[in-house]
Each structure stands twice: as structure tokens, then as C-alpha cells.
Structure 1
């Protein structure tokens, strides 16, 4: 009986359909909705969280740094207002550096830059046959590791054999960390996210223009296509038409749509809601604050008619609050070696400001 009732219901539906006026037949159901995405995402920066681990793991021979030195090195070139203060500080310090027979200008410059970027800097002491100091050679902080015996240091790369320095012959300058005492950490840790965001915003903007001044589209096809191969050809054509580094695009095929058989719908028009300038300005302010370099000393253009103030007074404040303390830290090498290698002349611009 249940089968009979089911058949009657079916017949009733058919009769109802037949009673409709001509031309008002029931709409055919959509066969299948197809969708796929194309255009691989562009890697903007390393996705590893540099602050994820703040302790030093050891592998049996040396301690690993608490922060990836490779990540810190990439960040230097990721944002203009991060790299510029680092180079500025290095150049000002080198302008005051008094050359010494044991330490060349090139090694001193690299040593200072490593300290500012990584919070760690290394000099290898090379001695003559009599055990007397012969030369201080810079060792790249990106590849230098501290051994389990804290007087032992290693030079570690992915492409060569690990090299063990003679014990006790490497001077290690650290920017103290509050988490551990094996390695130093850079002073700009709190601005790390702003540095990454600034670089990502710039690269997003560049890819936005490369992509045709839009952030991706939805290609929406509703007209039924007799040959399914035509849909596949359209997919391939859309993929091949996109340039390298294009943003995500989405193709949707819904046969039997009501209107506008083929539509191209942009995700958004950034020109109308552009936050690029706001992001750049906010992250720039964070970087200038953490590096503590007066903007007029770095060539930053003022946003107001009043300007940024007297550059000589700014240089004097910078020298007292930032330059001289770093020079004092560098002189720790003199205590370790027993020879006054690091010595500096007064900062000329600060002296001029003081006399005026």
C-alpha cells in the first residue's frame, strides 16, 4: 500500500505540471556546481614565529640561538625604516672609530653591524707563534654558535663542514637577554611585528599593481555549456593568463543560472579603501621609536610645515642618549683582551651643536 501511495503522489505531481500554462515548464535542476581556485599565494616573509622559542636548545655540540639568525638577517632588508637606523648607527660609530693595528676598519664595521642586527657579535683572536695577539678577525654572527662548553665556539653553515674555533679565542659581545644568558637578543624585539607588517604591506602593494590593480576576481559562469571540455579550456586559459605572483582568483561554474551568463566579480577595489599609507605610517613610527634615531638624521620628510626641529640639537641628544652608550659597550673588548682596541673620537656633529 505504501508503494501505491507513492505512485499516486508522483502522478499527482505530473498532472499539476501538465496543468501549467505553455512556456512555464519547471526549471531544470542545476547539474553540478564547479569551483576551483588558481594563482598560488606569494610568500611575503618567512612564516616562522621568531619569538616562539626564547630558550637555547642544544644539539650535543653547541646551543642554538633563541631567535633564528636567518630570520633576523632577512628582516634587515624587509623595511626601509628598519635598515636605515641600523646603517646610520653603524656609520656614525665608525666615523668616530680610531683604527687599531689589531682590528681593521672592515672588521670593526662588520662587528658593530652584527651587534646591532643580531644582538651578538664575534671576533676571533689570532695569535703568533709566541702566543701574542696578531689579529682580530670578524666572524659572521649569522653562522656562529656557542658551544656547550661556553668558551668553545663553532662556525656552522648549511653548505660546508662545521668549524670549531680554538677554545677561549673568540670574543662574544652580547646584548643581554632577560630569558637566557647564552646568547644576546636584538633591542628591537618589540617592534618585530611592525617590521614584518611594513615589508608585507609594501610587497602586497607591489603585487597589487602587477596583478592589474585588483586583488583577484571571481569568474562566475552560469550559462550551461554543451561541451564540458569548453569549461576546462576556460580554466586553463585563466590560469595561463595570470602573471607570476598574482593573487587568488576563483572560477565558479553553475549551469542553468538566471542571468548574466559570464561575470567577472572583483573581490575588492583597494583604490577606494586603501589602508596602505596608514599601515606604512604606523609601522614606521614603531620602528623609529624602537631604534631611537631622530627622523631628521635619517632624511625623513616632515608631515607638517613646522619641520622636525634643529638637526644639530637632535644630533647632540642622539649622541648622548644612544651613541655614547653603544661605544661604551663596545669597549668591553678592551677589558677582555687587555689592550685598548676600541677607542673613539667625539661625534663631530654633537660637538658642533655643543659649541653653538
Structure 2
């Protein structure tokens, strides 16, 4: 009887790739540093990540031998929580395998420092740009934007996260500038002197910002021109309604936490 053999093809794919090679590794299609910054930018987003990581890490591990592969003082729950946190925050969860083939330890790699290449090799890249090659494994959520990196499921809510942060920054700047709306100082039937203009600039830039300078008074005076009475008035240039900010933050909060 004639023997038949089946050979597996190892021919490489001829498809085009949008992934960008940077030396030994491929750059993620979305900045991991930006995702980390978003993590600290919004409390609702951060809480949602933490809740999901907590839920995913609460699996039954009574029959698992994971503990013997972990370093001292690291429990299975701690290891799994960090792993799930990386997965939820970055869409990627890399693990370093350190040691011999049968005698090794597992360490979570900070996902924002992790990189891979077309051969699925793993690298850790520090802030200084220094990189080291590591052995290990990684899990990723599927992403239609990359063959090598995953993506977190909150990318569709990034606009809401950024909008919420911009609203907070607006309010912060508002109070840093004395909790006053934008004002124009208008002189009627008079012209401000050079000394007055300098005094206005100094007062609003130095003496009216921050809580320590609250309730300070600006003294204004006029230089009359002709027979008409000279006046000084303050006029609002723009105003954002508090209710609109409140509604905006509530809507964005619900979409972020969803």
C-alpha cells in the first residue's frame, strides 16, 4: 500500500500590512502612553477598568498550580488582577517567562512598555528607549486595525473621555483665574493711561489668580475727556452655562462607564 504524506505549507502571506516596523519591533497602532494618560484623566473610566479587572480575576484557582510559577509574595489573585488590568486597559496582557524550560517564574510586564514583532518575539522598551528581549506569552483582544496588537473595548468612548477631561480643565482654569468669566474693561468718554493698562495686566495676571488671592479689590479711575462724564464698566465676553456642563458630564460619564 502506497504511503501518503501531507505536508503543511509554510509559505508567508502576501497580504499588505499597515503595521509599522520600528527596528526590532512593530509599533502599536495606538499609543499605549496615550491610553495610560487617559486612565488617569477620568475617574469613571478608571473605576470601570478596575471593576472589570476585579471581576475577571475572581476565577476559581483551587485546582490550579499557578502559585508555583509565581515569585514570592505574589498571590494568584494579585497576579491575575494585574494581568486582567493590563488586558482591559491596553487590550494586551504580556507575561514574562523567566528561568529554565521547566523551572521558571511568571511576571506581568507593564503593557505600555511591551512590544512585539512579526515573529511574535517580545520586547520591553523603557522610557529612555532602551529595549530588552524577553521570553514569555501574551494575550490580546482582537483588533481589526492590527495583526499583532489588540485593542481595548473602550476606544469607541475615547471622545467622551477626552470631552470630560476638557470640561474639567476648563473649570480648573476658571477657578485658577479667580472664578470670573472673561471680562472686557471698557472706558467710556475716557482713555486709560499707560499706568492703568499696566495695573490691569498685573492685577489679573498676578493678584487675582488662585484661592489665596480671592476677594481682592481692583481700584479703577478715569481721565475725563471733554464735558461728558467718564465711566468704566466691565462687560462679559462669553459665558458657559453651568447646567450645560453638568448635563455634558453626566452624558459622557454614562457612556464611559457603559
* TM-score bracket relative to the smaller structure: 0.7 to 0.9
Match of residue 184 from structure 1: 150
Structure 2: distance between partners of 1:176 and 1:164: 24
Deviations 1:252-284 (A, max 9, x none): xxx9797754322223444x5531221112112
Alignment map for 1:266-345 (pairs within 5 Å): 266-270=236-240, 274-289=243-258
Match of residue 44 from structure 1: none
Shift of 1:182: 1.3
The gaps in structure 2 that reach 5 residues or longer are: 1-16, 212-223
Shift of 1:83: 1.4
Structure 2: distance between partners of 1:220 and 1:92: 60
Match of residue 113 from structure 1: 85
The answer on whether the counterparts of 2:82 and 2:108 sit within 8 Å (CA) in structure 1 is yes
Structure 2: distance between partners of 1:231 and 1:240: 14
Structure 2: distance between partners of 1:229 and 1:210: 25
The answer on whether the counterparts of 2:178 and 2:210 sit within 8 Å (CA) in structure 1 is no
Match of residue 235 from structure 2: 265
TM-score, L = length of structure 1: 0.55
- Give secondary structure in 2 for the equivalent of 1:274: helix
The gaps in structure 1 that reach 5 residues or longer are: 1-53, 246-254, 290-356
- Give secondary structure in 2 for the equivalent of 1:123: strand
Match of residue 204 from structure 1: 170
Structure 1: distance between partners of 2:229 and 2:131: 67
The answer on whether the counterparts of 2:29 and 2:145 sit within 8 Å (CA) in structure 1 is no
The structure with the largest alpha-carbon Rg is 1
Q: Does 1:138 align with 2:108?
A: yes
* Deviating more after overlay: 198-207 vs 138-147: 198-207
TM-score, L = length of structure 2: 0.73
Q: Does 1:122 align with 2:94?
A: yes
* Deviating more after overlay: 98-107 vs 279-288: 98-107
Number of aligned residue pairs: 219
Structure 1: distance between partners of 2:229 and 2:34: 51
Higher relative contact order structure (alpha carbons within 8 Å, sequence separation ≥ 6): 1
Task: Give the one of 198, 206, 215 matched to 1:240.
Answer: 206
**Root-mean-square deviation over aligned CA pairs:** 2.8
Structure 2: distance between partners of 1:163 and 1:260: 73
Shift of 1:210: 4.1
- Give secondary structure in 1 for the equivalent of 2:56: helix
